[in-house]
Amino acid sequence: MKTYLAFLRGINVGGHHKILMKDLRELLNSIGFKDVKTYIQSGNIIFKSDIESNSLLEEKILNIIKDKYNYNIDVVVKQPQGIQAILDNSPFDQSTTEKAYFILLKNSPSSQNIEQIKAIHYPDEEFFVTSIVVYLYCKKGYGRTKCNKVFFEKNLNVITTARNYKTLNKVLEISKDD
């Protein structure tokens, strides 16, 4: 049984798509996931499963939430070592990495889309695109950035969800408690 990390997009934000984490844990336990834990209210889930396909796990989570709540929630599943590698490979220095955002990509964008987006520049914003994550540093904060997850979804044509450094580190820490 492997440990997985699931990141749900757009739940409990601005009063939309409300799901209590206690209910979400029970729901995922009901479909056979083990040791389900959550971190904060924004859909960060740690669990174990015998299923060895991230895309199948994403589909199972999406479908059970759709069945129970009638919400169509985007889900990105990663393994702890993948998230650790994302953090370890940050192109920013450590102090900037700790203030950065990580736009997790559900699928790899085309090389053409990656090349096109590299030509876009905004003052006080810096990003690096890989096949699995966009590293984003916004000097004025994520709430004021033009380069948010919607910007990257549109330009890369992939589903995304964003997390900050602190959240990814905490989810990793929780995954190691098993």
pLDDT of residue 94: 95
Single pTM value for the model = 0.93
Write out the two tokens for 48: 């174990």
Among 56, 78, 100, the domain-final residue is 78
pLDDT of residue 14: 67
pLDDT means over runs of 10, the chain (178 residues) = 93 78 94 95 93 96 95 95 97 96 96 94 94 94 86 95 95 88
Domain total of the chain: 2
pLDDT of residue 148: 87
- Does residue 57 sit in the same domain as residue 114? no
- Note down the domain range covering 17: 2-78
- Does residue 33 sit in the same domain as residue 69? yes
Among 53, 78, 103, the domain-final residue is 78
CA distance 175 to 103: 20
CA neighbours within 13 Å on the CB side: how many for 15?
Answer: 0
